[in-house]
Every structure is written in C-alpha cells, then in structure tokens.
Amino acid sequence: MVVKVYGPLYAAPKRVLVCLVEKEVDFETVPIDLLKGENKHPDFLKLQPFGTVPLIQDGDYTLYESRAIMRYYAEKYKSQGTDLLGKTIEERGLVEQWLEVEAHNFQPPIYNLVVHILFAPVLGFPSDPKILQESEEKLGKVLDIYEEQLSKSKYLAGDFFSLADISHLPFTHFLVANMGKEYMIKDRKHVSAWWDDISNRPSWKRVLQFGDPF
Amino acid sequence: MVVKVYGPLYAAPKRVLVCLVEKEVDFETVPIDLLKGENKHPDFLKLQPFGTVPLIQDGDYTLYESRAIMRYYAEKYKSQGTDLLGKTIEERGLVEQWLEVEAHNFQPPIYNLVVHILFAPVLGFPSDPKILQESEEKLGKVLDIYEEQLSKSKYLAGDFFSLADISHLPFTHFLVANMGKEYMIKDRKHVSAWWDDISNRPSWKRVLQFGDPF
C-alpha cells in the first residue's frame, strides 16, 4: 500500500516527506492548492476538519498534523531506514523535547518572518515591520540556545539525527534560501555546521524538488 | 528514585502531574514562582534554557516541555497504571494527532483568553477586548470540531483515555471554573460529557490540590 501525502508544495508536508524518504517508505503525493482554498473544500474537510496540510492516507488509515505523522512512521518502521527516535526511551524523550521546542519556540517567530516576507507579496497584504523586528529578535534568542546545545552534541537531541532535526528543515530552508536572512544561521558556528549537515542529506534534496508555493 | 517536578502551581506542569498519578509514579514538587522571575534565575536556566515550566529531574535525567515529559513517562511505564498511548501503533498515531491539535488549535486561543481574563488583573495590564472576542470565536470553532469528534468516540483519540485528553485538563479547567465561560463546554453535548468524565478522574482531583497562581 502506497502512502498518499496531501500538499507536497508546502512546508509542513515536507516534514512528512523527508521522514518517509529516510524510512524508505513508498509514497505518492496529492496536490492541494491552499491559495485556491482547496483545503476548505467539503471533501477535504471530511478528512481534515481543521483544513490544514499535511494529511496522509495509508489504506484505511488517515492521519493529520505533520509531527504526529512523522512519529507514526518513525515508530511503525522502527527497524527500517534511518532510526529517527533514538535508541533508548531516554533518547526518545530528548527527541520529543526538541520536537516540542521546535513547535513552540522556533516555529512561531520563523513562521511570522515567512508570512511577512514571502507570503505578504503573494497574498497582497502589507508586511508589518514591527512583527518582522520582534520575530527576528525572538528567533535570534532561540538560535542562541541552539548554538549552545549544538556545541555539546552534533544534533539537537544528541549525537544522532532524529525527527527533531527533520522538523526544522522546511522553515530554515526558507530563511536561508529565500529571505535574505541566512546570516542568522551562518553567524552561529555550530548552528551553521548543523544546518550544512542536515540540509545536505539526500532525503532533503529529493524533497526540495517538490517546489515552493511562491 | 522520586521524580522532581518543577512548577506545580502552573497549568503546563499539571499535565505532567496528572500523567504521573495515572502511571502510579512517585514524585515530589519543586515550587517555582514565575511572577517573581524564578524561572529566569541562572541556576534554573542551566536546566531549562528557555526559562519555562515544567521541568523534571529523574536521577541524572532532565527533561522539559510538558507534552514531551508525558510521552516519556507513558512510554517508560507502558504496562504500569493507566495505558495512555493506545494499544496499537495506529491508536498511538491518533493520540499524537490529537496532542498536536491540542497544542496548535486549542491551546493558542484558550491561552489568550486565560491571559486576558485571569492574568491581566494580576499582572496589571489592560485586557484587550478584540483579542478576547477573536480568541473566543476561534476556540468556539475548535470546540465545534471536538463536538463532532466526540459524537463518534468517547475520548478524542478513540474509545480510550489518553495523553491527548490529559493535555486539555488544565486550561479547560480555567475556562469552566474561573472565567465565566463554562457555557462554551456545557452548550456542546458531547464535549460536556467528555469534560464531566475526564475532570472527575481521581488523578485530576488530586492534582487540582496544588492550587492556582492567582
């Protein structure tokens, strides 16, 4: 059974795609155009009532929320492909901790930067300089803590690549490649080395080929 | 070894405490006064660089982020106390999905309501009527989706109590008990029945005894 992944153009679904490539799980993609509101179509809302991507269908099983889907496949194919959860319950705990840090500390400011730099022109609303400044300050403080953490271990949760690292790929890619903010990564020695490592993985290079929404 | 849980007065640490009670794990609590800035003290920041609670110490092992800590103990003591992750990988996937829904859809609007109704007077800033109105509308839409989900299963992730339900307890308690917004729960038949069920568990009644910060 091939896994269907909805919304490959967007950032959150790319987390799932990288995870599936690392786990050597076959998938096909189903395009969803958020700018045309296809995520608010009644047929889509029956599967994902909040109207967001990604969504996966795997036979009769349907699941949404990118970090939940990653955890599911990392667990289901534990011994296939790259181990993404650590080897012990304690290592998994740290993977979970850094996944939560990504969701609650890293994602809100970088999301604001992406919306106000990349999506504002596409969606035709004015970029807010105050939000831009505050978000860059907040993200800088988070990255300072990452710099400290990555001076102690090669990856966020320890000396092993994990879901916690994958979860940072799509939005950090925007920051480095599309937004003129690559100095936020490059000026931090250990963050920069970590980014060079994870963004050069073949899985991420393959997933990048699905393109961007702008 | 007794688990030390920092910050029992606050909402997020109460998620961890309920989980530990359900898993029959002994713990002791360490008070942290956020209003006095104890979470920004250098000794605390060495353990939790983002300066938030909860934090746990379990022998040499330190972990933060409430939902990560819950997952760790639910997994570590899988066969002790209440099973909180479901019986299959597919059930756990749904627990993870609804934990993410709680974090990304439910928590932001209810957090805004709590801050602007309960904390504004304590911290001495004016409550913002526009934020209150928008947050209540957003939360209402989320609860409409919960109503539909809970008409199909007794708990959020299925017919079994899980971490996804626990994660809703502290903030929903504020909404019902302290904020004059209990109609948001009571006016939705299945949400109301779910709330009656989970809020009457002995674990939650025990954890409520740790008190509130206001």
ipTM of this complex: 0.97
Q: Smallest Cβ distance to A72: which of B50, B67, B96?
A: B96
Model pLDDT, residue B214:
77
Q: Where are the domains of chain B?
A: 3-82, 89-204
Q: Which of A16, A71, A78 to mutate to test the interface with B (most CBs of B within 10 A)?
A: A71
Domain over A3-82 is classified CATH 1.20.190.20: no
A63 touches chain B (CB under 8 A): yes
Tell me the C-alpha distance between B88 and A14, whole Å. 26
B155 touches chain A (CB under 8 A): no
- What does chain A come to in residues? 214
* Region B124-139 average pLDDT: 95
Model pLDDT, residue B6:
98
Model pLDDT, residue B35:
87
Residues 89-108 on B with a CB inside 8 Å of A are 89-90, 92-94, 96-97, 99-101, 103-105
Q: Smallest Cβ distance to B89: which of A68, A75, A89?
A: A75
B188 touches chain A (CB under 8 A): no
Phi, psi for residue A27 in degrees, rounded to 5: -150, 160
- B128 — pLDDT class (breaks 50, 70, 90): very high
To the nearest whole angstrom, how far is the Cα of B24 from the nearest Cα of chain A? 18
B64 touches chain A (CB under 8 A): yes
Q: Which residue has the higher pLDDT, B124 or B12?
A: B12
Q: Which of A67, A147, A148, A149 to mutate to test the interface with B (most CBs of B within 10 A)?
A: A67
> Is the per-residue pLDDT at B181 higher than 90?
yes
3-class SS of residue B3: strand
Q: And the tokens for A47? A: 């599967």
Are A97 and B61 in contact (CB < 8 Å)? Answer: no
Domain over A89-205 is classified CATH 1.10.10.10: no
A67 touches chain B (CB under 8 A): yes
> Is the per-residue pLDDT at B65 higher than 80?
yes
Model pLDDT, residue B77:
98
- B8 — pLDDT class (breaks 50, 70, 90): very high
Model pLDDT, residue A128:
92
Asked which of A10-19, B68-77, B205-214 is least confident by mean pLDDT, the reply is B205-214
Q: Are B1 and B50 in contact (CB under 8 A)?
A: no
B42 touches chain A (CB under 8 A): no
Q: CATH code for B89-204?
A: 1.20.1050.10
List, for chain A, all residue ranges whose pLDDT scores fall below the cut of 50: none
Model pLDDT, residue A48:
98
Phi, psi for residue B3 in degrees, rounded to 5: -75, 130
Model pLDDT, residue A50:
98
Cα four-point dihedral sign B186, B191, B192, B198? negative
- B173 — pLDDT class (breaks 50, 70, 90): very high
Tell me the C-alpha distance between B204 and B22, whole Å. 9
Are A63 and B97 in contact (CB < 8 Å)? Answer: yes
Task: Give the residue carrying structure tokens 């400044």.
Answer: A133
Q: Are B52 and B110 in contact (CB under 8 A)?
A: no
Q: And the tokens for A113? A: 């930067």
